Structure 1
Amino acid sequence: MSTKKRPYVPKTKGCYPCSRRRIHCDRTEPTCHKCAARGLQCTGLGLKLRFPYGAPVSVSTISEAPGTSHLSRPNAFRANDPAFASRSSYDQTFPPEVLHGFGSTEHLPPSVSLSNGDISHSTTSSSQQHVSKDLSSYSAFGASVELERHETSLARFNQIGGIPHIPAEITPLWKRIMCKYFSDNIAPEMTAIDGSHNEWRHLVLSLAQTDNLVMDAVVTVAFYHLELNKSTQAHKRTKCELSATRSDLRDPNEMYNRVIQGLRSQPGLNSGNVNIKISVSITILILFVGAMVTGGSDFLLLSRMLESAIEAMGGEDKLPRVYASDFIKNQNHKIRIYAAPLLNERRGLQFISSQTHKEQLFNSLTHRLLDYPEHSPTMMLVRDLVQQALDLYIAQFDYRTDDQASEELGNMTSIIRVQHFKETLEAFPQGAPGERVLVWACFIAASASILDEHKEFFEQILLRHQSRNGFINILEGLECLRRIWSRTSQERWTSLLAQVNVLVM
């Protein structure tokens, strides 16, 4: 009796996310319906390869021809890019004048340049050519362990914060590497105390796992920072990790345009969708960090976008009652005061002289102090220094520049105030928690400096900050300070501060 041969069943029955969830995959390409319905990133069909990190990579992804891209400047976002050509329903939320020209190159720093060879992928990777002797024995297993620890920490936070947990393996490996880079090199710079409660790490990166728009913004900013800090060990190590993934390295400019296009494609913020409100607000905040990293002037438009977004949601009081809303409010309170003097004098005086806004700023700087009571002494110094910087700004409006006696009295008062700030800062333990959030206060004190010894002191302080964080905004800020220091006697430094066009904080 002859036996009928069973039909061949392929080993790969569906995409990897469906396989992990142990559900039937409809095998639709490029994205199956199950993944599309849940908002997951479908890996498609085909054999999966596993690298030492454990993440699946499709054969079709590896075999794609490497893309070529050119990055003339870190934020040379072309105004004629298709991402800016079309308008969508999101423009109903942001007024046309807010989005018009967003990302143009008119006010970009010409000194920042990235070469094409650093971001395009080839068989002989440029990152491999630049790996130093210190990394010659670099272990992929060691990198895998660090990545696993980082993602385990995020998973633990997801459980506490009620954020849906998505298995890390579903996210492409190169994105996981860039999230780890963001966690190590950018998140610590954005908070007073870097610890287990750093929301730029545990909240933002946790949301990025489930939100493509937030993820795109995170990896865009991470790539900019990576390419602008080529001499660091972190750059060389990360380039080596990315090279091991054998996936094409991305052009940050194109990724930035993609984020802006993603913002525009969102429905109106006056809808009741909580996820959209949180996603858009946090994405804009991440782009603020990008403006700091690249030293670009996009923060001017980002400020208007953030204001429009919060207004469209009905104001801060109407933000959803979720954990992420507190984070959005605290960041908005900081940006609102720090950016105000850089917009114009009237706005700067309005916000800095407001006791309500000042208290909101101080609360945003110290809101995690209960979790770290041992850092109370240094955080009180932080509050004192920020208060002194605010007083320095307000004091400039007490004196007239067209009256010699008033001008001389104002100069003497500034010298005394700046000296007091300098002495307080010198008493601050170098490297202590809170030091990283003093950049704005030091920049304001430097702007008010008249004596050469004060100018030299603050220049060295700001260079030390820049050496640590690698943010180009500080270098651009120093260039602006030199113009402020060479002002005429008829000019107030507060008026010149409004011409800085770079967010120094």
Structure 2
Amino acid sequence: MAFRGDGEVSRCAGENRVRELGETGGRNISVPRYLKGFDKVNSPRFKEILGCAFVVYGVDPIRVLCEAGVGRRGDERLLEVLIRDMDSVRLVDLGFDPGCFQCSKRRIVCDNTEPACIKCQKKGIECSGSGRIRFSNGVAQRGKLKGCSIPVADVSPESAFETQRQAAAAAAAPRTIRWKADQSRDARRKSVKRRENIGERGVATRATEYNNDAPTQEGTSSPSAVEGNQVILACPRDQLADTREHTQLIINEADPIDEAVEEVVAIERAVDLAIAPVSNSPGPIHPWIAPLSPQARMLMSHFADQVAPVMVVLDNVSNGYRDVFLPLACEDELLRTAIGVVASQHLALYNPSFQSAADEGRAVIISRLRRDSLEASPDRVFNLSTWATLIVLLVGETITGSSEYSHLLQTLMCLIQNVGQIAPSAARDFLTQQSHMFEFLGQPLLGEAHGVQALRLPLDHYLDWTYYDLPSDSEYHNLLHLSRMAFIKASQIYLGRVTSTRDQWDLLEELKQLVSQIDPDQMGSHALVWVCFIASADSRDPEHRRFFVDRMNRVFKKTKFHNISAGMQCLPAIWSQQDSGRWTQNISKLAPTLIM
């Protein structure tokens, strides 16, 4: 394309505005003064390239290259390549700001006003602003794909992920590599025919270096021929013109290697060759979360970062609230809504504007669970979705310090007795462990009958959530052991108070020594809130009370969960009734909060 000099080109050169006219044909373009002394500047081909740059880009790239010191080499071929690939050159990096796209197309100097330049405003056109980053509603703004949207398969996420796993397994299957001489006579004959066809079409396989603008259409042959189980990777001719032999790699996925490779063939310039096969079948698609709104993503991210770490002992080892619940929430609307509600409840601690949305969402979820329990079939009630939703809602009760946790906890215990039909999985194992945690820590706060029923069972049955698959030399072994011993000692204190009214100073002192071995700032120390509450509620010694309340207060300063502050506020009322009876008798009224 040559420069058609029927227009006027304006550009800024320092403080002076230079106007130049190009004559028709592009070969008689007047050379600006700042290009004097440029090698080969008078060659016709160079002037034609210069004219093309004016028409296509609306700027003078030669001037930019000269000012950047690129063009002083006088290499006309280099300038041609640079101008042709100007899309990959950032003019701003070369010292030239092209301004907005509209002024560039109109071939005028943009004033670079943000967000819209004044010249576009005066002209009454929409200004895209400075820079070259623009967004399109479809695949492309021009060309054959103009107006086309990104296709999204209308399939369920389960089938899409299953297809992806199958494709990944097929791609990971071991494949044998052998040289051209090892293939059979029929295969060599087919290879010759394929090379001839490729040569006639002039197809280059250098990673489609010069064909990035042309989209691949259905029916077009790729540089790599695919037949049966064999894939032949052909190299570009211009890259192998100076070699004696054209080396080809043949990958056979079905037949084993018959003979060992006796000679290593050196492939020159292997780094520059793009030898990746192009398959006609679609490759594996990475999972993506298409249906989620930005608000849902934000709430799930907040849940994963701020709420999930508090609900497990060791967050840096494994966390099912993040690794199990979030993938399930991407496929289940009920669980996703519950996670959003709990995240909103946590955000409401810092911004009260989230509270109304959290309350409304919680009411909607509870109404749906109640309706399903009355009308839906058992498989719609006793499933992973309902199970995980109840767990998440109980997490929300610990954030708000609500006194309505007892209904959710009793519903959870009822559901656990009817989940036998759920298939074993990692999700079920995690839900079982978390259910044991809520049963173990929640039932003693419902009353003596519930507490005795839970704490008289083998404690290993309820403390499975404190076990992690750790290496033998892990530093967390001692922490987990001390935590389990503290839970067992606190359980003994609770059962001792249910059966008698005597002072349990010795047990409380032993528990204090156990807890003292765990640093308050150490990971996992936040899991001892229930232990400290039981001990402080039964303490008569002011030193014991001060120690355990101080540990609870430290955890509250880190987590901000209101169930901890509610528990500390209940302690004076509990201490006031120690002389008149057992505090475990009225614990559900004195401390109507899930303290854990």
Tell me which residue corresponds to 1:109: none
Alpha-carbon distance between aligned partners in 2 of 1:437 and 1:460, rounded to the nearest angstrom: 15
Please show how residues 346-425 of structure 1 align to structure 2 within 5 Å: 346-355=449-458, 358-369=459-470, 373-399=474-500, 401=501, 410-411=502-503, 414-425=504-515
Q: Does 1:306 align with 2:412?
A: yes
- Counterpart amino acid of residue 22 in structure 1: V
What secondary structure does 1:498 align onto?
Answer: helix
Render the CA deviation track for 1:154-176: whole Å, top value 9, x for unaligned: xxxxxxxxxx9852343111111
CA contact (8 A) 2:455 2:491 kept: yes
Tell me which residue corresponds to 2:437: 334
CA contact (8 A) 2:444 2:452 kept: yes
Please show how residues 203-352 of structure 1 align to structure 2 within 5 Å: 203-230=324-351, 251-266=357-372, 271-272=378-379, 277-313=383-419, 317-352=420-455
Tell me which residue corresponds to 1:466: 556
Render the CA deviation track for 1:121-153: whole Å, top value 9, x for unaligned: xxxxxxxxxxxxxxxxxxxxxxxxxxxxxxxxx
- Counterpart amino acid of residue 593 in structure 2: V
Alpha-carbon distance between aligned partners in 1 of 2:376 and 2:416, rounded to the nearest angstrom: 8
Alpha-carbon distance between aligned partners in 2 of 1:371 and 1:290, rounded to the nearest angstrom: 35
CA contact (8 A) 1:166 1:209 kept: no
Q: Does 1:198 align with 2:319?
A: yes
Query: CA offset at residue 196 of structure 1?
Result: 4.9
Query: CA offset at residue 341 of structure 1?
Result: 1.2
Please show how residues 428-439 of structure 1 align to structure 2 within 5 Å: 428-439=518-529
Please, which runs of 5 or more residues in structure 2 have no aligned partner? Answer: 1-135, 140-147, 160-284
Q: Relative to structure 1, is the Cα distance of residues 458 and 165 closer, same or farther in structure 2, using a 3 angstrom cutoff?
A: farther
**Which structure dedicates a bigger proportion of its chain to helix?**
1
CA contact (8 A) 2:344 2:355 kept: no
Alpha-carbon distance between aligned partners in 2 of 1:194 and 1:446, rounded to the nearest angstrom: 27
> Higher Cα Rg: structure 1 or 2?
2
Q: Relative to structure 1, is the Cα distance of residues 504 and 20 closer, same or farther in structure 2, using a 3 angstrom cutoff?
A: farther
Q: Does 1:427 align with 2:510?
A: no
Normalising by structure 2, report the TM-score.
Answer: 0.50
Q: Relative to structure 1, is the Cα distance of residues 495 and 173 closer, same or farther in structure 2, using a 3 angstrom cutoff?
A: same
Query: CA offset at residue 277 of structure 1?
Result: 0.3
Alpha-carbon distance between aligned partners in 1 of 2:339 and 2:467, rounded to the nearest angstrom: 25
- Counterpart amino acid of residue 487 in structure 1: Q
Query: CA offset at residue 185 of structure 1?
Result: 0.9
Query: CA offset at residue 460 of structure 1?
Result: 1.5
Q: Does 1:451 align with 2:541?
A: yes
Alpha-carbon distance between aligned partners in 1 of 2:425 and 2:568, rounded to the nearest angstrom: 39
How many residue pairs align between the two structures? 326
Query: CA offset at residue 472 of structure 1?
Result: 0.6
Alpha-carbon distance between aligned partners in 1 of 2:428 and 2:158, rounded to the nearest angstrom: 22
Render the CA deviation track for 1:394-419: whole Å, top value 9, x for unaligned: 112442x4xxxxxxxx21xx122112
CA contact (8 A) 2:563 2:595 kept: yes
Q: Relative to structure 1, is the Cα distance of residues 298 and 398 closer, same or farther in structure 2, using a 3 angstrom cutoff?
A: closer
Query: CA offset at residue 367 of structure 1?
Result: 4.0
What secondary structure does 2:586 align onto?
Answer: helix
Render the CA deviation track for 1:289-328: whole Å, top value 9, x for unaligned: 0100000022100012112223343xxx443212111111
Alpha-carbon distance between aligned partners in 1 of 2:491 and 2:339, rounded to the nearest angstrom: 31
- Counterpart amino acid of residue 364 in structure 2: R
Query: CA offset at residue 344 of structure 1?
Result: 1.3
Alpha-carbon distance between aligned partners in 2 of 1:339 and 1:452, rounded to the nearest angstrom: 26
Query: CA offset at residue 217 of structure 1?
Result: 0.5
Alpha-carbon distance between aligned partners in 1 of 2:302 and 2:157, rounded to the nearest angstrom: 27
Alpha-carbon distance between aligned partners in 2 of 1:20 and 1:365, rounded to the nearest angstrom: 47
Q: Relative to structure 1, is the Cα distance of residues 370 and 212 closer, same or farther in structure 2, using a 3 angstrom cutoff?
A: farther
Q: Does 1:479 align with 2:569?
A: yes
> Where does structure 1 differ by over 3 angstroms across 4 or more consecutive aligned residues?
10-13, 18-23, 37-40, 264-274, 367-374
What secondary structure does 1:492 align onto?
Answer: coil
Tell me which residue corresponds to 2:51: none
- Counterpart amino acid of residue 439 in structure 2: R
Q: Relative to structure 1, is the Cα distance of residues 433 and 20 closer, same or farther in structure 2, using a 3 angstrom cutoff?
A: farther
Please, which runs of 5 or more residues in structure 1 have no aligned partner? Answer: 1-9, 24-33, 41-163, 240-247, 402-409
Q: Relative to structure 1, is the Cα distance of residues 21 and 361 closer, same or farther in structure 2, using a 3 angstrom cutoff?
A: farther
Alpha-carbon distance between aligned partners in 2 of 1:201 and 1:420, rounded to the nearest angstrom: 35
Query: CA offset at residue 370 of structure 1?
Result: 5.7
Alpha-carbon distance between aligned partners in 1 of 2:149 and 2:581, rounded to the nearest angstrom: 67
Alpha-carbon distance between aligned partners in 1 of 2:137 and 2:308, rounded to the nearest angstrom: 42
What secondary structure does 1:494 align onto?
Answer: coil
Please show how residues 8-23 of structure 1 align to structure 2 within 5 Å: 21-23=151-153
- Counterpart amino acid of residue 573 in structure 2: R
Alpha-carbon distance between aligned partners in 2 of 1:373 and 1:472, rounded to the nearest angstrom: 33
Alpha-carbon distance between aligned partners in 2 of 1:290 and 1:337, rounded to the nearest angstrom: 18
Alpha-carbon distance between aligned partners in 2 of 1:277 and 1:454, rounded to the nearest angstrom: 44
Q: Relative to structure 1, is the Cα distance of residues 368 and 494 closer, same or farther in structure 2, using a 3 angstrom cutoff?
A: farther
Normalising by structure 1, report the TM-score.
Answer: 0.59
Alpha-carbon distance between aligned partners in 1 of 2:390 and 2:472, rounded to the nearest angstrom: 27
Query: CA offset at residue 181 of structure 1?
Result: 0.9
Q: Relative to structure 1, is the Cα distance of residues 441 and 503 closer, same or farther in structure 2, using a 3 angstrom cutoff?
A: same
- Counterpart amino acid of residue 284 in structure 1: L
Q: Relative to structure 1, is the Cα distance of residues 455 and 249 closer, same or farther in structure 2, using a 3 angstrom cutoff?
A: closer
- Counterpart amino acid of residue 437 in structure 2: K
CA contact (8 A) 2:138 2:150 kept: no
Q: Relative to structure 1, is the Cα distance of residues 415 and 269 closer, same or farther in structure 2, using a 3 angstrom cutoff?
A: farther
Q: From 489, 492, 499, give the equivalent of 2:579.
A: 489
What secondary structure does 1:491 align onto?
Answer: coil
